Chains A and B, each alone.
Chain A
Amino acid sequence: MSDNELNLQQPLRIRRGFRLQWEPVQNGHVLLYPEGMIQLNDSAAHILKLVDGQRSIEQIISELQTQFPDVSGLDEDVLTFMGVAHAQFWLEYC
């Protein structure tokens, strides 16, 4: 890992040791990691559910645009979230 730039074409996955999970009691998705937990809002959960080790960021954006055709500026939202997730080391490129 040598730079902070997002690569839009390379497939990525959730970092080893991190787990996305639905929590019924909290009525929401969480990202679990060693001794910690991040409570995710709906849009973050929608994005992370598509991070599967196969899709690239470009493919995730296009998938979400198909799912939510009426939402404008979706690509910006995904890029912003991915920037944060990548900087926090929640994700890794395959």
Chain B
Amino acid sequence: MHSSGLNTANPVSATQSPPLWLLAELTYRCPLQCPYCSNPVDFAKSGEELTTAQWIEVFRQARELGAAQLGFSGGEPLVRQDLAELVKAARDLGYYTNLITSGIGLTEKRIAELSEAGLDHIQISFQAADEEVNNMLAGSKKAFAQKLAMAKAVKAAGYPMVLNFVTHRHNIDRMDRIIELCIELDADFVELATCQFYGWAELNRAALLPTREQLERAEKVTQQWREKLAAENHPCKLIFVTPDYYEERPKACMNGWGSLFLDITPDGTALPCHSARQLPIQFPNVKEHSIQHIWQESFGFNKFRGFDWMPEPCRSCDEKEKDFGGCRCQAFMLTGDASNTDPVCSKSEHHDKILAAREQAEHAPLGVEQMVYRNEKMSNIIIKG
């Protein structure tokens, strides 16, 4: 790795690892209103969406740099009427193509079109295993029935299927039923992802963060299911993502800044992770710069590469090559300075912020009715805020 991320004149192309994972956030439009959405809270002020041709050019350039996995995400990517065309272009370039969807807007006809275009895999996200809770969290009365029907249709079409459940204090106690439902639906992979506190989820943290006891129980249930599935030689794989709020060391966020993940947002702004837009950094746009420039030379992507930017206690920490000092966005949100050690780390002088959040989860959580739902109206209010 190059020595300094700050010298943008210094060409780093020879040593810079490729952006193996390209995430295409095609749109911020979405029929659901999940209060833990990772989209920025001010998404309503985002610029015009990239055109079909602009997206395909992004795919071509990123593929040349070595991108192999391509995620179509959003918002709800199915809102884009050119989705099948984008999938076909990506598949022809050699990408492994993943559709990350709520299932709303999916039909058997659309599944057949996407299959024809060469789509490799579909991930459907659920809000809960119970119809009532699911629909309340999604802000839609029909969401659950539609998701069930589409999960069955995806399997019937022969796709491998990932089911994703974002878990939080209002659904995590139903982990047993969540896993049971996934097995019934014949999922190949199940992501049980405890809410990460970015975007709308950060706004609603006091209503979402589970207690340590809830989390431990859910992990135990998951482990029992893993043992049961292994004993049956069942191919379904359960992936449990713990919230870093209960860790003593931060996560190796994105496997390091600008190390393998490249996110292109609806208006073409390129980011090293989904939530970096909130940082006080000018990130490059694909309408103005090549992907090569963005990935290898831009100020934003080099800002936190390597180790020279680190202050103490990270700088002299013998674990810095393992966790890269944690998450820059979390450091910014909780301390006001993106260069600080992620407060999840017990060595951080701001670790008390995490302890206070845990304390609140135990004693003074907010109810589900106090959450701010993600929609354009609310986003506009927040912008004016």
Name A residues whose Cβ lies closer than 8 Å to a Cβ of B. Answer: 1-4, 15-19, 21, 23, 25-26, 30, 32-37, 89
CB distance from A25 to the nearest CB of B (A): 3
CA A58 – CA B340 in complex, angstroms? Answer: 57
Task: Say yes or no: is B265 at the interface (Cβ < 8 Å to chain A).
Answer: no
A interface secondary structure, majority: loop
Task: Say yes or no: is B235 at the interface (Cβ < 8 Å to chain A).
Answer: yes
Tell me which residues from 110 to 160 in chain B have a Cβ below 8 Å from any Cβ of chain A: 120-121, 123, 158-160
In the assembled complex, which residues on chain A have CB atoms less than 8 Å from the CB atom of B279? none
Closest chain B residue, CB of each to CB of A18? B160
Name B residues whose Cβ lies closer than 8 Å to a Cβ of A. Answer: 18, 20, 65-66, 68-69, 71, 94, 96, 98, 120-121, 123, 158-160, 162, 188-189, 233-235, 237
CB distance from B308 to the nearest CB of A (A): 26
Number of A-B contacts (CB under 8 A): 56
Known: A32-B68, A34-B98, A35-B123. A1 touches B158 (CB 8 A): no
| CB-based contact A17/B159 at 8 Å | yes
| CB-based contact B98/A35 at 8 Å | yes
In the assembled complex, which residues on chain B have CB atoms less than 8 Å from the CB atom of A36? 69
In the assembled complex, which residues on chain B have CB atoms less than 8 Å from the CB atom of A35? 69, 71, 98, 121, 123, 162
CA A15 – CA B123 in complex, angstroms? Answer: 17
Apart from A34-B121, A34-B160, A34-B189, list 11 A-B contacts with CB within 8 A: A1-B234, A3-B233, A17-B121, A17-B159, A17-B160, A18-B160, A30-B68, A33-B160, A35-B69, A35-B98, A37-B20
CA A35 – CA B189 in complex, angstroms? Answer: 10
| CB-based contact B94/A34 at 8 Å | no
Known: A23-B66, A37-B68. A2 touches B233 (CB 8 A): yes
- Write 7 A-B pairs (CB below 8 A) sorted by A numbering: A16-B158, A17-B188, A34-B189, A35-B71, A37-B68, A37-B69, A89-B235
Shortest 4 CB-CB contacts between residues of A and residues of B: A17-B160, A25-B66, A32-B96, A34-B121
CB distance from B13 to the nearest CB of A (A): 12
